[in-house]
Amino acid sequence: MSYFRKHYHEPGTAPGTLVQRSPATTSPLSMHLTDYTEEGVEELDLDAVQDCVRYLERGSKTWLQINGAVSPDTLRQLGDLFDLHDLALEDVLNAGQRPKIDSYENQLFVTAAFPMLNDGVLELVQISLFVGENYLICFCPLAQDPFDPIRKRIRQTNGRRFTSRGIDYLLYALLDYIVDSGFPVLESFGDDLEVLESELLAHPDRQTLAAIHRLKRELLLMRRILWPQREMIASAMRSEDHRIKPETLVYLRDCMDHSVQIIELLESFRDMATSMLDLYLSAISNRTNDTMRVLTIIATIFIPLTFIVGVYGMNFGNPDNPWAMPELYARYGYPLVWGAMIVITGGLVWYFRRRRWL
């Protein structure tokens, strides 16, 4: 996982320049349009940007969902058709933007981070949203549309909450879905923390340490993105832009509550991961201490035995010498020495067990 993923222009490039880069995804471009009023919903897949012109001339709400890798030419066509600002289009192409909300003359521009797990690895997908008077354009680099549950709510007969409200309610629904997507990711991280905790209490190894570092890194990356995302939602609530109606603020407040809950869970998991790293170091230190204690006990037991065999290994056994070792020629000298060593060994083991060193 790279620490720095943001695409950027070379220093000195004119602002608003759209430059084609090797995209992080090679997903083919697809455009899906959802046009709805209180009377009904119409959906179709577009082959060209110009196909949505006739829907903009109505009084309906139009949601244009663009998935996959978008080219600079397509962005320019959309910019000319919807009068999108050049700086905002540049931010769409340069992925890895900080979540934010910018107000331009003809539209609101919102960037958000969509958290997801790809084969167990955290991925933060940039979602770019343009909000006009009666349209919303959503750019998503994924091949598959992640917002199909929102579209299903619009199709439902009881989905009049969507059809009877302005386009700002659709903006809230998409932001709420993006924010709530953090809960399953954090749930997966919580499961990983439980597994790591069990491994730490059983048999921690280098793989456990690598898993802890990976989890800490992903939590740090998620925190770096979701903190400004909470600020972005707070900015939307404080915004005086006429495109965000007062009746939508109460829903944005609920979205803000979810964002705060995710941040609190994220901080708790980061603290747990840090404490697990300390627990791993303590477990390794305790294991080393146990090993050293066993080795010390073994060495202590063999010290007197080494002394005895060292003394009798000197072989001063001249029978005419009064200072010679009498045990060398005693009938039971050899078994007596063995018995003494066994008694000493047993006494030391009994003493160590009594002191609970064994």
Q: What is the mean pLDDT of each run of 10 residues along the chain (358 residues)?
A: 52 59 66 88 87 80 90 87 88 86 90 90 91 91 90 75 83 94 92 88 84 90 89 88 88 93 92 87 82 86 86 71 71 82 88 78
Between the CA atoms of 327, 328, 330 and 333, what dihedral angle is there, to the nearest 10 degrees?
A: 60
For the chain, the C-alpha Rg in angstroms (whole number) is 36
Confidence at residue 11, expressed as pLDDT on a 0 to 100 scale: 60
Let me know: does 132 contact 17? Beta carbons within 8 Å: no
pLDDT score at 114: 93
> Residue 328 is encoded by which pair of tokens?
């060398």
Instruction: Determine the Cα–Cα distance for residues 179 and 78; give it in Å rounded to an integer.
Output: 27
pLDDT of residue 129: 94
Report the chain's terminal Cα–Cα distance, integer Å.
Answer: 46
Beta pairing class for 61-67 and 100-103: unpaired
How much helix, strand and coil, in percent to the nearest 5, is found in the chain?
55, 15, 30
Q: Would you say the pTM of this structure is higher than 0.75?
A: yes
Amino acid, res. 143: A
Q: State how beta strands 108-118 and 100-103 pair.
A: antiparallel
Residue 341 to residue 309: CA distance in whole angstroms: 9
pLDDT, residue 1, reads 46
pLDDT at 2: 47
Q: At 161, which amino acid appears?
A: R
Rounded Cα distance between 69 and 29, Å, is 6
pLDDT at 51: 83
Helix (H) or strand (E) holding 100: strand 100-103
Q: How many CA atoms lie within 13 A of 243 on its CB side?
A: 24
Classify 346 as helix, strand or coil.
helix
Rounded CA separation 309/307 (Å): 6
Rounded to whole angstroms, the Cα distance separating 114 from 147 reads 11
Q: Which helix (H) or strand (E) holds 136?
A: strand 135-140
Task: Judge whether 189 and 226 are in contact, CB under 8 Å.
Answer: no
CA distance 126 to 139: 8
Query: Residue 256's pLDDT is what?
Result: 93
Give the length of the chain: 358
Q: What are the structure tokens assigned to 42, written together?
A: 């119409």
SS3 123: strand
- Position 286, amino acid: N
- Which pair of tokens denotes residue 181? 């997507």
Distance CA 179, CA 115 (A): 8
pLDDT for the residue numbered 159 = 53
